[in-house]
Amino acid sequence: MRSPVAPVASLLLAGSLVLSGCSLLPGGGDDDKPAPKAAPAVTELPSTAWKTVKPSSLEQGGTLRLAASTLPTNFNPLQADSANSDAARILAPTTGGAVRITADGGWKVDPDYARSVEVVDKDPLTVEVKLNPDAVWEGGTAITADDMVAFWKALDGSDDDFEVVSTAGYDAISDVEPGKNRFAYTVTFDEPTAEWPLYVYPRLAANVSSSPKLFNDAFRKRAISSNGPFITSSIDTKKGLIVQKPNPRWWGDRPRLASITWNIADPELQADAYVNDELDAVDLQASTYAKAKGTGVVQRAAGIEWSQVTLNGGRGPLQDVDVRRAVAHAIDRGPIAATAAQALGAPSAPLGSLLLVPGQQGYRDSSASIAYDPALASKLLKKAGYTEGADGMLEKDGKPLSLTLPVPKQTPTNSARAKAIVADLEKVGIAVELREAPTGVDFYEKVVIPLDFDLVTFQRRGAAFPITAAEPLFYPLDSSQNFTGIGTDRFGLGFDTVIGTLADDLRTQRVAKLDEWLFEEVPVIPLSVTPIAVAVRKNVANYGAAQFEQPDWTAVGFTKK
């Protein structure tokens, strides 16, 4: 749901937004200082690293053998049970839409699905979509405006019987109106929505979007209808094997591959299978990089997953913002970033934003206010009333400054990161208790979600359109995804204003300012971006490591011998 300050934010798009002495644009209030300098457009690693070959130069046929970590419990990626699963990734060869994400996180119209996608009015925001009339669902039914109408109504939260992953974006749509023919429609938003390209094309046929029963339960053991160059021909839940074949009704360029298989296995087994020539490509982690790097080619691209420390500002010493700021200044993020990158044979990728990642359009390092500065950390702790005790550690009113940091057992990367954090904090007199915690889903359900921690570190994931998804991580306080224990109203005002800013340059400035607001309150400390590393057979083309760009599955294949 949108926050209650959204109407206020929408009135302020034309000028600077002032709240509590700060503005979302440079100038105004007490924040008269230059905007942060933009980071370079690209990082040391490319956004897309796969080998690009013309499809005509590839073999016709062959099976691309891939892997995923878990078997989805629901093969409808929009249904709540598929959240945090590999469903969307596995179904990618069967999926398409009106817009295609570009290498830098931007977008362009995909002619296989739409003739045009354009904003025809900004007040209210109205987007006109003209579909490719050749596009059909797997069964042969045309993709039409009726599909979009039903899809919107299923996803907008108006019917609780549809158990959706998220209503975000769709709940901002006020109307979907069919056009002059069934292959055209307009989508009208009740407020400006910068990430509108995500919400203007249906991913499900109208019959599914009109039935909660089908939406929720029909795809436990079969995939939703394909609208892409491949179809899912079989799902073997016992063997953990999914097979995809070319879509016989596909209207675009003929796929080069004869089939794609997805084998379900944990990362260690995936690496073993790759080394044994049972897979053609495998995503690498710190624990599997050394095992697989000598076989085939390791492609490295700028990442979207990033490590961080979440601070629970809802209890104990961290309720004091000066203590949270001191924690941030005490942690040396540089070595943590270097260690994470070296484990994948990549250059260090420190992170200076809570909203965007390096290599993404608009990325700026806005983290100056939490720069490593142990001396400043000590001053802030003294300001907060802490003094040095007999053991050299800090205390207040006879009570030691001690924080808990739970770590899932048998997670070496997480454990190493946590130990580095503990060592840094102890240098400024903050004692941290490392506490063993359960792994997997239990870690989130028993530790993170109930906020049973002072500090916690895990990976977050960026996206090409990240702002709408990022808001519930910080606002409101009672958001199911907000694990920070705080949720100041200016966060909500800031997110609504950024999301409501349609002009790219202005939105970039406002994203940077919102980042600064977040860093002032220190709900989360970003550490580093994890580079993407994929081991790929030398003869695989047009597939591999990429930050945002999705493969053109008609062009993925094997080079000719």
Biggest distance spanned by C-alpha atoms of the chain: 80
**pLDDT, the chain, mean:** 91
pLDDT on residue 21: 27
| Spatial distance between the Cα atoms of 479 and 456, rounded to a whole number of angstroms | 18
| Spatial distance between the Cα atoms of 331 and 380, rounded to a whole number of angstroms | 14
**Lowest pLDDT segment from 32-36, 109-113, 151-155, 547-551:** 32-36
* pLDDT (average), residues 181-185: 98
| Spatial distance between the Cα atoms of 552 and 561, rounded to a whole number of angstroms | 22
Among 311, 279, 295, 346, which Cα is nearest to 528's?
Answer: 346
| Spatial distance between the Cα atoms of 373 and 100, rounded to a whole number of angstroms | 43
For residue range 34-76, list pLDDT tens digits in order: 333 333 333 489 999 999 999 999 999 999 999 999 999 999 9
pLDDT on residue 39: 37
* pLDDT (average), residues 468-482: 93
- Where residue 10 falls among pLDDT bands split at 50, 70, 90? very low
List the end-to-end C-alpha distance of the chain, in Å, as a whole number.
Answer: 54
Pairing of strands 431-437, 402-408: parallel
Residues 90, 92, 95, 97, CA torsion sign = positive
- Give 427 or 39, the one with higher predicted confidence: 427
Residues 551, 38, 5, 313, CA torsion sign = positive
- Token readout for 273 is 């299978």
pLDDT on residue 49: 97
Dihedral pair phi/psi, residue 3, rounded to 5°:
-75, 160
Distances in Å between the Cα of 396 and the Cα atoms of 317, 399, 429, 430 are: 10, 5, 12, 12
- Where residue 104 falls among pLDDT bands split at 50, 70, 90? confident
Q: Residue 456 contacts by C-beta under 8 Å, 6 or more apart in sequence?
A: 309, 310, 312, 405, 406, 447, 448, 483
Q: Residue 137 contacts by C-beta under 8 Å, 6 or more apart in sequence?
A: 143, 205, 225, 226, 227
Q: What is the share, in percent, of the chain residues with pLDDT greater than 70? A: 92
* pLDDT (average), residues 376-403: 96
Element of type H or E holding 109: strand 107-109
- Where residue 480 falls among pLDDT bands split at 50, 70, 90? confident
Distances in Å between the Cα of 258 and the Cα atoms of 4, 255, 452, 496 are: 51, 8, 50, 46
| Spatial distance between the Cα atoms of 459 and 528, rounded to a whole number of angstroms | 10
Q: Residue 269 pLDDT > 80, yes or no?
A: yes
**3-state DSSP helix/strand/coil % of the chain, to nearest 5:** 30, 25, 50
Q: Residue 32 pLDDT > 50, yes or no?
A: no
Pairing of strands 63-68, 259-264: parallel
Among 460, 456, 458, 462, which Cα is nearest to 355's?
Answer: 462
Q: Give the residue carrying structure tokens 């090409």.
A: 464
Q: Give yes or no for a contact between 357 and 306, defined as CB atoms under 8 angstroms apart.
A: yes
What domains are there in the chain, each with its CATH number? 75-219 (3.90.76.10), 303-531 (3.10.105.10)
- Where residue 294 falls among pLDDT bands split at 50, 70, 90? confident
For residue range 190-239, list pLDDT tens digits in order: 989 999 999 999 999 999 999 999 999 999 999 999 999 999 999 999 99
pLDDT on residue 93: 98
| Spatial distance between the Cα atoms of 369 and 324, rounded to a whole number of angstroms | 12
Q: Residue 13 pLDDT > 80, yes or no?
A: no
Q: Residue 321 pLDDT > 60, yes or no?
A: yes
